[in-house]
């Protein structure tokens, strides 16, 4: 009986937390400590991007569902080209938006960290300011979000 009670409590508690959401895009920030130049860049998983002498390859980006505590984690492979053009691994691991110092890239000139993962499914329903300026788009959103509004009332 105790085992059954334990198992039922265990499965109930473990189902409270949702699974991480894997995304294809993310926002990352880089700082060149010598020039003081700060760049915020939208990155896509598996698409290399350059920041100074660094080659950044985002491998994975995970975020939590909206009802949970915000957390974003991204796995990066980061290389640097030396003066001979040879790439050397600078960082290979996870970075966390809520605590960048937990797993930071150690580099004399550059700092790189993940800001957040972009949930494409969630953002597809969000209209840009350009679209909001058109009244018909507002009506379209109202109809999509509330089926009762899409039915025309007969007066």
Quote the percentage of the chain above a pLDDT of 90: 50
Which pLDDT band holds residue 117 (cuts at 50, 70, 90)?
very high
In whole numbers, what is the pLDDT of the chain averaged over residues?
77
Q: By mean pLDDT, which of 4-18, 65-79, 141-155 is the weakest?
A: 141-155
Higher-pLDDT residue of 155 and 53 is 53
What integer pLDDT is reported at residue 119 of this predicted model?
Answer: 81
Higher-pLDDT residue of 137 and 30 is 30
Q: How far is CA 112 from the centre of its chain?
A: 14
Higher-pLDDT residue of 147 and 40 is 40
Higher-pLDDT residue of 10 and 111 is 111
Which pLDDT band holds residue 14 (cuts at 50, 70, 90)?
very low
Which pLDDT band holds residue 8 (cuts at 50, 70, 90)?
low
Cα(79)–Cα(56) distance, rounded to whole angstroms? 7
| Total-model pTM | 0.65
Whether the per-residue pLDDT at 144 is higher than 60: the answer is no
Parallel, antiparallel or unpaired: strands 87-96 and 21-23:
unpaired
pLDDT digits (tens, 9 = 90+) for 60-101: 999 998 888 889 999 999 999 888 888 899 999 999 999 988
Cα(44)–Cα(60) distance, rounded to whole angstroms? 9
Cβ neighbours of residue 127 closer than 8 Å, sequence gap 6 or more: 137, 141
Higher-pLDDT residue of 135 and 121 is 121
């Amino acid at each position: 009986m105790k085992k059954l009670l334990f198992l039922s409590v265990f499965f109930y508690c473990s189902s409270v937390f949702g699974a991480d959401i894997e995304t294809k895009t993310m926002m990352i920030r880089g700082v060149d400590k010598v020039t003081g130049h700060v760049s915020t860049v939208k990155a896509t998983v598996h698409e290399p991007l350059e920041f100074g002498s660094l080659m950044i390859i985002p491998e994975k980006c995970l975020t939590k569902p909206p009802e949970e505590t915000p957390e974003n984690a991204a796995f990066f492979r980061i290389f640097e080209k030396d003066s001979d053009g040879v790439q050397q691994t600078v960082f290979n691991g996870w970075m966390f938006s809520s605590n960048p110092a937990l797993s930071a890239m150690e580099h004399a000139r550059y700092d790189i960290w993940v800001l957040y993962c972009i949930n494409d499914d969630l953002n597809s329903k969000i209209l840009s300011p350009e679209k909001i300026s058109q009244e018909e788009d507002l009506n379209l959103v109202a109809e999509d979000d509330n089926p009762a509004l899409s039915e025309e009332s007969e007066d």
